[in-house]
Homo-oligomer: A and B are copies of this chain.
Amino acid sequence: MSLILHNFFRSSASVRVRAALHLKGIDYEHKSYVLREHEHKESNFLGLNPQGLVPALELNDGTVLTQSLVIMEYLDDAYPRHPLVPADRLDKAWVKSLACNVACDLHPLNNLRVLQYIGKELNQSEETVSIWFRHWVNETFTGLEQQLANDERRRTFCYGHQPGLADICLFAQVANNRRFNVDMTPYPIIESIYERCLQLPEFVDALPEKHPHAS
């Protein structure tokens, strides 16, 4: 019996968990939800995750884990192959803070539900929504590029020569940026890490367009 990943093909947080599962070589099944049709707000899924947010990972014993960062940390604890964070306390904090810059400060502002609220409830144009999206990307990426430039622990990837938690978050975000024409010129290091990830099937297969239920 394999793990069940409750997810949506385009969700950036779902891309992260898919990449983590692939990097660790863990088998899983998909259960897909179409967010625009609010399938994640129906009782079946709310029974699994009362927050009504994807992704959620269902373990063999029926336990459901939520929150992409937490799911990835659990996978790292339970499946030691290809560690996603370094063992050293300070290095771990550095990698996790890079990941949180994207996962806690940037992505939550550019979620589908937020963009929809701005369009519908605040009655803003599609162009204003795109400007909002790019504004928050630039706010975080400006500092992130600097952090990566300043730190000698960054090599091919955010930490050394193996992709991990920070690369996963960065990759999912840059992939997401494509839909909003974010100019990546000011971020050559971030772009180079994204390009390196694109050379690995574990990342490519996590992309929305590769999802078995992409539409």
Interface residues of A (CB under 8 A from B): 49-53, 63, 65-67, 69-71, 73-74, 77-78, 89-90, 92-93, 96-97, 100-101, 103-105, 108-109, 113-114, 117-118, 121-122, 124, 128, 132, 135, 139-140, 142-144, 146-147, 150
Residue of B nearest to A124 (CB): B122
CA distance A63 to B153 in the complex (A): 14
Q: By DSSP majority rule, is chain A's interface helix, strand, loop, or mixed?
A: helix
Task: Determine the distance from Cα of A6 to Cα of B50 in the docked complex, in whole angstroms.
Answer: 35
Q: Is the CB of B117 within 8 A of A122?
A: no
A53: chain B residues within 8 A (beta carbon): 105
- Report chain B residues within 8 Å CB of A65: 90, 93, 97
Please name all residues of chain B whose beta carbon is closer than 8 Å to the beta carbon of A74 when the two chains form the complex: 89-90, 93
Query: What is the total number of copies of this protein in its complex?
Result: 2
In whole angstroms, how far apart are the Cα atoms of A139 and B111 in the complex?
A: 14
- A50 with B143, Cβ < 8 A, contacts A67-B100, A90-B63, A104-B69 known: yes
10 additional contacts, CB 8 Å, given A50-B143, A66-B97, A67-B104? Answer: A66-B101, A67-B96, A70-B93, A74-B90, A78-B89, A104-B108, A109-B114, A113-B139, A117-B135, A118-B122
Q: Which residues of B contact A90 (CB under 8 A)?
A: 63, 65, 74
A105 touches B108 (CB 8 A): yes
Instruction: Name which residue of chain B comes closest to A131, CB basis.
Output: B121
Q: Are A69 and B146 in contact (CB under 8 A)?
A: no
Q: When chains A and B are docked, how far (Å) is the Cα of A123 from the Cα of B53?
A: 30
Identify which of A51, A92, A108, A109 gathers the most chain B CB atoms within 10 Å of its CB. Answer: A51
Which B residues touch A73, using CB under 8 A? 93, 96
CB pair B104 A104 closer than 8 Å: yes
- Subset of 27 A-B contacts with CB under 8 Å: A51-B105, A51-B140, A52-B143, A63-B90, A65-B90, A65-B97, A66-B97, A66-B101, A67-B96, A67-B97, A67-B101, A69-B96, A69-B100, A70-B93, A70-B96, A70-B100, A73-B93, A74-B90, A77-B92, A78-B89, A104-B104, A104-B108, A108-B108, A108-B109, A117-B132, A118-B122, A121-B135
